[in-house]
Chain A
Amino acid sequence: MEEVLFFASALGALGGAVGVIAMRNPFYSVLALIVHLFSLAALFLLLTSAFVAAAQVVVYAGAVMVLYVFVVAYVGEGGESAWEPIPGQRLLAPLLGIALFVELSIAVLSSSLLALGEDGPDVKAGFGDPAAIGRLLLEKFLLPFEAASILLLLAAVGAIVLANRRQEETT
């Protein structure tokens, strides 16, 4: 059962990823990314991390993707030129991608992490649920948590400054 769910989600994630880079229209790329994110949430659930899966669906597939859809609708399609700054770039890129994949796989699988070939240890019932993550965030990782909240505030202010209409008129 777990194998079936894993391969179904893996196919969804991979198909979504390929869809993002293969679609000509950015709108379809965003939709493919939503498929990818939902499949990843299923994989997170298989890895018994319920909170990360829920955050993935709510934050990513919900909020961030709505932002993308708005901007794609605002900016429009904007056709891509066929001009290549480096000759043969579009042929070279898949080869480099495959090389990167082979390299990453060799690096991880030939490492001395013996636990990689196993299913992982048995975990308690509360592993990865919101209570456990919340306790970790507010006790052990309080400083990164606060830094992340300041980063979010800065990003919001930065976005307002960047997309401000009045500033454009003065420059």
Chain B
Amino acid sequence: MMEPLLIVRNLRTTFPVYGGLLSREIGRVKAVDGVSLKIDRGHTLGLVGESGCGKTTLGRSILRLLEPDEGELLIEGKNILTMGKRELRSMRRNMQIIFQDPYASLNPRMTAGTIVGEGMKIHGIASGKSLREQVVKLFELVGLPSDALGRYPHEFSGGQRQRIGIARALSLTPSLIVADEPVSALDVSIQAQIINLLLDLQEKFGLSYLFISHDLRIVRHISDHVAVMYLGKIIEEATREEVYSHPSHPYTQALLLAIPVPDPARRKKKSSLSGDVPSPMNPPPGCSFHPRCPHMENRCKEEVPLPREITPGHKAACHFAERFG
């Protein structure tokens, strides 16, 4: 079997918390708390969770846009965390990111053509006329008119801006793209266009995606595997079919039940979770989900559940996962 493109082992990223009179460091927020996962070539891992669960931090840590505290990050067998600056820079060609907000992630003073061509210029892949030709090709690939090259970001609609972001990410022919909520800011009819584009590009270039989203409907559509995150930890991971048809963690079950169903005949009162997501600065002891869990028992308040295999390939971090799966 082929080696996975990306292997993440026990990754931990924390942020300092300052407080007190002298603004000294008084603690650390564990935004990513011991995460392990892998992505196969040409596959998509959907990463879902609610705001503040650490999914964006995880995505950025994987690209080393944020510096993880510990763990292992292997892309094509090479450990990124031990790389020096120069080596990392050339490695970055292999891993690119698409951001959520197509308004904030494009420099308003640069033309679309310059934005898309910048990476190739910096990495010395193309310059002058050949650079221009490459950029025109990329524009065609993502469905932008070629006369858009000289236009500035504000002249484009949201969907078109996201296409520019995708062209920029593709320009260095990466093997891994971290897509951080790439369609959340877009209207429904445009969302579908961008999802289709991402699927086409994956088929064409064998791309792997880490697809970060809070929208379980879209994650179901685009992913091969799905990982569910809660307060810095992956609490369930399996193939898409497994997660959606046999969710084994009570949190995953609650998330799935909370999806609004576009069918008025199946309208039902939601058995929603009570309470809010606890602050990651001060996570509850034991299972961090226990204060909201409808099946909580005494053990959950004390003992942290470790992720374990419930059925082959299906991991869940719940003491009683077998009961729910």
Q: Are A and B interaction partners?
A: no
A-binding residues in B (CB < 8 A)? none
B-binding residues in A (CB < 8 A)? none
